[in-house]
Chains A and B, each alone.
Chain A
Amino acid sequence: MKKSRGMGLYCAGVFGFLYLPLAVMFVFSFNDARRNVVWKGFTLKWYSALFQNTDMMAAMLTSVELALSAAAIAAVIGMLASYAMVKHKPFRGRSAYDALLSVPLMMPEVALGVGILTFLVRAGYELDFFALACSHALICLPYTIAAVRARLISLQESSLEDAAMDLGATEWQAFVKVTLPLARPAIISGALLSFTVSFQDFVTSFFVAGIGIVTMPIKIYSMIKFGVSPEINALSVCLLLATFTLIALNAAFAVRPDEASRH
């Protein structure tokens, strides 16, 4: 009993350490003062200022569009890439292929950002929204693949696709009518993860963003020179709520270990 209480305290401590700053931010987004250190009374003015700030809203819209695009690209490519790896017999270079897919996770983002920028410039490609969305998709790819691949492996084990083919489906029909619908929750959950990864990315965005593309993180960081205003707190709270919603959705779509066999 005593032991478990110690464990409980420890856990409370860890969660406190992780979430207290967020709680403070939440509280101070209602603070009637510009700097975040002294409590001067309750106000909603930062929220109204935020929603009236057209620059901020434009940056928010750009970020949402970008994250949606990146998630869509990463979902398609991630699905196909995982399918290739799970479905096919080990092919030559598969482990290298595998390793390459997780490079964006391990590589310092500065190197990735500057690398993509240099590549696009040398290739003579204009830095537009599409280029940025593709760069983001690259960062998102490992997350999509991780989500989808686990699902495909468990489907593979349940041999449903094989069963469908035994019953007369072509390989293509089996893929579209059996595998794809069953993998959909994993694809959606991977896409949701991608959305958050893309949404909060600063480094790659900064380097690859072309003229006129200002994402939310770029906007926030560039405000540093002039003191971060409490609008930022209000904004962060909104983002936090959005993130929690996405995580909840993700949990709802996430694949439970036993689920594959139930179908």
Chain B
Amino acid sequence: MTEPISRRGFLKAAILAPLIPSLLAACRRSSDEKVVNFFNWSNYIGKDTLPEFTKRTGVAVRYDLFADEDEMFTKLRAGARGYDLIVVGDYHIPRFRALNLIEPIPAAELKNRGNLGPRFRSPVYDPEETTVPYLWGTTGIAYNRKRIKKAPTSWRDLWDPQYKDRVSMLDNVRDCISVAMQLLNIPQTTRDPEDFKKIRELLVKQKPLVKQYSSASYLNSLVAGEIDLAMTWSGDLFQTARENPDLDYVIPKEGTYMWVDCLAMMRGARHRADTLRLIDYLLEPDVAAGIANSVRYATPNLAAQPKIDKELLNDPRVYPTPAVMKKLQLHHVLDSEQSELWSKTWADVKVA
């Protein structure tokens, strides 16, 4: 039998047991407060980028992770505080601003903002330049060179009956409806129910050909050859193509949409000065090039271009030619009524 336990001893243990975690927490908290809290996707940065920053400035960076922009938004909206710097996709920025979650990054305090290419100045999603473009890419078509004899050139090829059951579409309202709009020559500003009817019809017509609507798992299907044609995001495909060199990427002749992930500073950031220092650091040509070379997305940093790997820089799929660049659009900023129409149309397509 165990040693007799006194009532007091037991109560003590019962009270102390739940306190173990706070002791653990106290041990893991670092004492110096020179730190920037960075909220980002996993591995969405160069390997040495942050250690180098810490070495140079003595400011540590805590790199926290999210897996989904909507979840991240919900968490911040519910009031989670403490993050200084976050990465946000272009068309999400207006809603972060509308809820006052982010604070304008004062351009005057950044030495290196001028390194950004003209294309990324005063973008539609953020005309006052309160955020800083980080990396960008395009939406396009992935295909298997061995199995699709004639390389796709147009979004129309995703509607070609000969590829029945070999096609996948991104499970993403913005991308699919934007493409339908582009094919139908409908401007993104529309609110006309007739337009949305046409969009729905076009997407529903494609449905029998589509093997899956997916934004992630289709990449495995592409490698395995279960599908041969897919609507995709550029960087995702380049990473996947390392596994299957037959995979290639095209930007359709109609043009396409580009997306820009941006750095945004949280409202009330506790480590404001160091956050600005970090942003400025990320804008340095060497640093930006290091990130782009490792992540293999395009950098909006013009001054960094000479330091980008030659094969990457000369790859028109990553850095499109000026002619193609002209045909790239940013996603339009939707108001709530438009968002509603878009979501509803997309939902109708999915259940049709």
Chain B neighbourhood of A76, CB < 8 A: 14, 17-18
* Interface residue? A109 (CB, 8 A): no
Report the separation of the CA atoms of residues A42 and B223 in the bound assembly, to the nearest whole angstrom: 19
Tell me the total A-B contact number using a CB cutoff of 8 A: 138
Given contacts A35-B223, A38-B223, A222-B41, contact A227 B239 (CB under 8 A): yes
Which residues of chain A (130-173) have a CB below 8 Å from chain B? 130, 133-134, 137, 172-173
* Interface residue? B243 (CB, 8 A): yes
| Shortest Cβ distance from residue B170 to the other chain A in the assembled complex, whole angstroms | 13
* Interface residue? A207 (CB, 8 A): yes
Chain A neighbourhood of B216, CB < 8 A: 224
Report the separation of the CA atoms of residues A218 and B223 in the bound assembly, to the nearest whole angstrom: 26
Our pick among B25, B42, B62, B82 for the contact of A219 (Cβ within 8 Å) is B42
Given contacts A212-B62, A222-B41, A227-B236, contact A117 B18 (CB under 8 A): no
Find the B residue at minimum CB distance from A75: B17
A218 and B78: CB pair below 8 A? no
| Shortest Cβ distance from residue B168 to the other chain A in the assembled complex, whole angstroms | 15
A69 and B24: CB pair below 8 A? yes
Chain A neighbourhood of B82, CB < 8 A: 126-127, 210-211
B44 and A225: CB pair below 8 A? yes
* Interface residue? B249 (CB, 8 A): no
* Interface residue? B81 (CB, 8 A): yes
| Shortest Cβ distance from residue B93 to the other chain A in the assembled complex, whole angstroms | 18
* Interface residue? A206 (CB, 8 A): yes
* Interface residue? A223 (CB, 8 A): yes
Given contacts A35-B240, A226-B42, A227-B239, contact A72 B7 (CB under 8 A): no
A117 and B220: CB pair below 8 A? no
**Which of B4, B19, B65 has the largest count of A CB atoms less than 10 A from its CB?**
B65
Report the separation of the CA atoms of residues A137 and B219 in the bound assembly, to the nearest whole angstrom: 37
A176 and B10: CB pair below 8 A? yes
B219 and A226: CB pair below 8 A? no
Which residues of chain A (63-118) have a CB below 8 Å from chain B? 65-66, 68-70, 72-73, 75-77, 80, 114, 117-118
Our pick among B41, B79, B223, B239 for the contact of A118 (Cβ within 8 Å) is B79
Our pick among A73, A180, A211, A214 for the contact of B21 (Cβ within 8 Å) is A73
Q: At the interface with chain A, which of B66-74, B146-154, B201-209, B324-332?
A: B66-74
* Interface residue? A45 (CB, 8 A): no
* Interface residue? A129 (CB, 8 A): yes
Report the separation of the CA atoms of residues A138 and B267 in the bound assembly, to the nearest whole angstrom: 31
Which residues of chain B (1-38) have a CB below 8 Å from chain A? 1-2, 4-5, 7, 10, 14, 17-22, 24-25, 28, 37
A121 and B79: CB pair below 8 A? yes
A72 and B17: CB pair below 8 A? yes
Chain B neighbourhood of A223, CB < 8 A: 42-43, 67
Our pick among A130, A206, A214, A218 for the contact of B25 (Cβ within 8 Å) is A130
Our pick among B10, B44, B80 for the contact of A121 (Cβ within 8 Å) is B80
Find the B residue at minimum CB distance from A77: B18
| Shortest Cβ distance from residue B211 to the other chain A in the assembled complex, whole angstroms | 15
| Shortest Cβ distance from residue B237 to the other chain A in the assembled complex, whole angstroms | 10
Chain A neighbourhood of B348, CB < 8 A: none
* Interface residue? A128 (CB, 8 A): yes
| Shortest Cβ distance from residue B56 to the other chain A in the assembled complex, whole angstroms | 20
* Interface residue? B224 (CB, 8 A): yes
Report the separation of the CA atoms of residues A133 and B28 in the bound assembly, to the nearest whole angstrom: 14
A222 and B67: CB pair below 8 A? yes
- Known: A66-B21, A118-B78, A181-B2; 4 extra A-B contacts, CB below 8 A, are A34-B242, A35-B240, A121-B78, A219-B65
